[in-house]
Amino acid sequence: MGGLERLSPDEIVYWQWGAVQLNATIVSTWLVGTILVIASWLVTRTITDSFLFSRWQHFLEVIVEAIVGQIREVIPRNPERYVPFVGTLFLFIAVSNVLGVFQIFPAPTESLSTDAALALCVLVAVPLFGIRERGWIGYWKLYLQPSPLMLPFNIIGELSRTLALAVRLFGNMMSGAKIGAILLIIAPLFFPLLSQALGLLTGLIQAYIFAMLALVYIASATQAHEAMEARVAPSNTSHSDSKGASPHG
């Protein structure tokens, strides 16, 4: 019943000194980060560009190419630029959810504080990518479109979608954990495997959705000017053609 009574791993406190707490969310976040750092170091320390490479390098290349391919579908130009941020989001959430499914430790994504921190990372990354791509003035002009009167609504929309990112991930992960706990109570001999399979699928899907939504938000801040240039370029071309043809007319 502990899984049903506990709303968040924040409630599991290992150490406390005054207002400072060391809870399960912090510990599991450190563990996931440590696992990712050690795994990346072990895989990348023997990377080679020859035809003879390890199976781990092949596995890493498959993951990176898959991430690059997904990014290219949303942002065709220079997709590699966004791999470190989007790829890290996906891997952190995916590893957290997978380890949580197998009950190795509480998944940090079951805590609203972790999900809010991930959403805040997206909130900060979107203007950073947008400013680097469009410049300060070009990016902030987006908040004045289609009219300066839309400025407060655009700001509210930016904040509300950040809140939606955090709440969506938290709600899906918490509900998955509760459903798994209920299935274990109903039929503890049959449902564990089904529950783990369902939790594994749900965890990977949620990692994919979060990373793709972050990518869409980044694309909205970086590619607006490309669409405008694509619309302006044909008109400029037709205008120059008409000017060149006018003397013969």
Q: What is residue 2's predicted lDDT score, i.e. its pLDDT? A: 44
Residues 249, 236: Cα–Cα separation, whole Å: 20
Q: What is residue 248's predicted lDDT score, i.e. its pLDDT? A: 47
Q: What is residue 79's predicted lDDT score, i.e. its pLDDT? A: 86
SS3 6: coil
C-beta separation of 127 from 232 below 8 A = no
What is the chain's Cα-based Rg? 23
- Please enumerate in sequence order all residues whose Cβ is within 8 A of that of 100, keeping only pairs 6 or more positions apart, or say none: 28, 106, 107, 109, 110, 173, 177, 199, 203
Helix (H) or strand (E) holding 21: strand 20-23
SS3 18: coil
Task: Give just the sign of the alpha carbon dihedral 128, 134, 136, 142.
Answer: negative
Residues 91, 64: Cα–Cα separation, whole Å: 11
Say how many residues make up the chain. 249
How open is the CA angle 174-170-215, to the nearest 5 degrees? Answer: 140
Can you give the residue ranges of every domain in the chain?
2-228
Q: Which tokens sit at 181?
A: 């706990």
- Please enumerate in sequence order all residues whose Cβ is within 8 A of that of 14, keeping only pairs 6 or more positions apart, or say none: 22, 23, 24, 27
Q: What is residue 31's predicted lDDT score, i.e. its pLDDT? A: 92
C-beta separation of 151 from 143 below 8 A = yes
- Which residues are paired to 16 by β-bridges? 21
Q: What is residue 120's predicted lDDT score, i.e. its pLDDT? A: 94
State pTM to two decimals. 0.79
Q: Which of 182, 203, 183 is nearest to 193 (CA)?
A: 183
> What single letter denotes the amino acid at residue 192?
P
Concatenated DSSP letters for 157-194?
A: HHHHHHHHHHHHHHHHHHHHHHHHHHHHHH-TTTHHHH
Alpha helices in the chain (DSSP H): 2-5, 24-44, 55-74, 83-101, 112-134, 136-140, 151-186, 191-222, 224-245
- pLDDT, one tens digit for every residue, the chain (249 residues): 444 555 677 777 788 887 788 888 888 999 999 999 998 888 888 777 777 677 877 888 888 899 999 999 988 888 888 999 999 999 999 999 888 877 767 888 888 889 999 999 999 999 999 888 888 888 888 888 888 888 888 889 888 988 998 988 888 887 776 776 676 677 666 666 666 777 788 888 999 999 999 999 999 888 754 544 454 444 444 444 444 444 444
Instruction: Kindly report the backbone phi and psi dihedral angles of residue 16, in degrees, each rounded to the nearest multiple of 5, phi listed first.
Output: -145, 135
